């Protein structure tokens, strides 16, 4: 029982310390500095897990005929400046971001199409 109380106290103090560190403003999240590999991994993992969790109920559309032209226009207007497109490099904004926006072609291959569909669904609605 005493061990459990000590563990809970340590857990509580660790949580307070973590919140204090986040709240202090001492963490540098500016795009000018690259985060440490650990922080970069943590941020990217949180982003991917969040997309995966929130996209789990989304069914990618199957009736794509006739929608490709609309999708390409929307992608060119809203996404390509950062992510680039087939045969098109990202624009100045995309090249200046940290982390660099990944090629969505690679992201779609790495994950489930539902994840990309979820991101676009959120952006287009």
Is residue 111 within 8 A of residue 55, CB to CB? The reply is no
- The closest of 104, 91, 7, 111 to 50, measured between CA atoms, is 111
- Name the 3-class secondary structure at 25: coil
The answer to the question of residue 53 lying near ligand HEC (CB under 6 A) is no
Sign of the CA dihedral 4, 9, 14, 15? positive
Shorter beta-carbon distance to ligand HEC: residue 60 or 81: 81
The answer to the question of residue 60 lying near ligand HEC (CB under 6 A) is no
The answer to the question of residue 99 lying near ligand HEC (CB under 6 A) is yes
Stretch that binds ligand HEC, among 3-11, 14-22, 56-64, 78-86 (CB under 6 A): 78-86
Stretch that binds ligand HEC, among 4-12, 26-34, 41-49, 54-62 (CB under 6 A): 41-49
The CA dihedral of 25, 27, 31, 36, to the nearest 10 degrees, is: 180
List residues near ligand HEC by CB under 6 A: 43-44, 47-48, 78-79, 81-83, 93-94, 97, 99, 101-102, 104, 107, 111, 116, 119-120, 123
């Amino acid at each position: 029982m005493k061990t459990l109380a000590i563990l809970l106290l340590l857990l509580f103090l660790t949580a307070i310390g973590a919140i204090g560190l986040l709240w202090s403003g001492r963490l540098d999240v500016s795009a000018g500095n690259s985060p440490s590999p650990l922080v970069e991994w943590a941020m990217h993992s949180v982003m991917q897990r969040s997309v995966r969790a929130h996209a789990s109920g989304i069914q990618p559309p199957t009736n794509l005929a006739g929608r490709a032209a609309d999708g390409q226009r929307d992608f060119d207007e809203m996404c390509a400046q950062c992510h680039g497109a087939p045969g098109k490099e990202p624009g100045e904004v995309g090249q200046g971001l940290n982390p660099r926006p990944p090629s969505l072609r690679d992201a779609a291959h790495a994950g489930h199409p539902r994840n990309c569909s979820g991101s676009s669904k959120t952006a287009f609605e």
